Amino acid sequence: MTIELIPVIEIGYNNMGITVPESYPYWHFPEVWDAYHEECYKKAGFTDKLTPYLNGSSFYRPSTITDINLIKITSDHTQELREGKYHRAQACSFFGGYVLKVDNQDKYFPQCCGLLSDIQYWDKLSNGFDAYYEGHPEPVVKFVRGNIIFDFTVKEFDEHFQPTPPNTILTIDMRELKNAVDSVKQELTKFQKRLEEINDTERLNIDNIGELLIWNNKN
């Protein structure tokens, strides 16, 4: 079993006055939603093309985001904080989270209100501890003999997972998840260095910007 955690940032900009597609869900109509997102990004002022992790989605792997686009995303995300409209303790990391990939197949995507700082959630699971997930809905998690069992069962009136997980019950090896967490932390550390460079060159003056936008340390 090969397990990967893929970090993704959710890039919105859906308030550009552009008509939202009526074709749902987005993963069944990716061309329609890709065109919509691209139009929104152009109107918002993005200059480089953004390529989603999953066609039709608004999830983007940090390593695929160009520096000029990352400058805009970082500046926009922190603008109200830098203007003093709210305190650092009220701020959050980038929206998004982690795609759980097992044997080269995407099994679970970040859900509504997920954050890049949800690495803490995956870290705790990989060490055998149940943890609170910032997004919703969230799977039921159990630990059995070195395995982690995710239950994505949805009852009649429950909120549905998006996209729909291919397996209702998913069992993964805890040690393999730990390896995936260690690996993605290295990728996040590289991403933090990019944010620190942007913080310097753009004079954003945000203390510990990587801690704030990735790891969720508001100190």
The first and second tokens of residue 188, run together, are 């996040």
Rounded to whole angstroms, how far apart are CA atoms 119 and 215?
A: 7
| pLDDT on residue 156 | 86
| pLDDT on residue 115 | 97
Q: Is residue 145 part of a domain?
A: no
Rounded to whole angstroms, how far apart are CA atoms 56 and 177?
A: 27
**Which has more confidence, 132 or 102?**
102
Which candidate, 211, 204, 145, places its Cα nearest to that of 173? 145
Per-residue confidence band for 217, with pLDDT thresholds at 50, 70 and 90 = low
Q: Is residue 23 part of a domain?
A: yes
Q: What's the domain count of the chain? A: 1
135 neighbors 115 (Cβ within 8 angstroms): yes
- SS3 of residue 8 by DSSP: strand
Rounded to whole angstroms, how far apart are CA atoms 148 and 165?
A: 16
| pLDDT on residue 219 | 41
Mean pLDDT of 80-106: 96
* % pLDDT > 90, the chain: 94
Q: Is residue 139 part of a domain?
A: no
pLDDT in tens, 201-214: 999 999 999 999 99
Q: Is residue 144 part of a domain?
A: no
99 neighbors 143 (Cβ within 8 angstroms): no
Per-residue confidence band for 15, with pLDDT thresholds at 50, 70 and 90 = confident
pLDDT in tens, 113-129: 999 999 999 999 999 99
Q: Is residue 57 part of a domain?
A: yes
Q: Is residue 104 part of a domain?
A: yes
Rounded to whole angstroms, how far apart are CA atoms 89 and 42?
A: 32
The first and second tokens of residue 120, run together, are 């803490």
pLDDT over 50 (residue 146):
yes
Per-residue confidence band for 218, with pLDDT thresholds at 50, 70 and 90 = very low
Q: Is residue 88 part of a domain?
A: yes
Residue 74: how many CA atoms within 13 Å on its side-chain side?
28
| pLDDT on residue 216 | 84
Q: Is residue 163 part of a domain?
A: no
Q: For the chain, what is the mean pLDDT?
A: 96
Mean pLDDT of 101-111: 98
Range of the domain at 196: 3-132+173-215
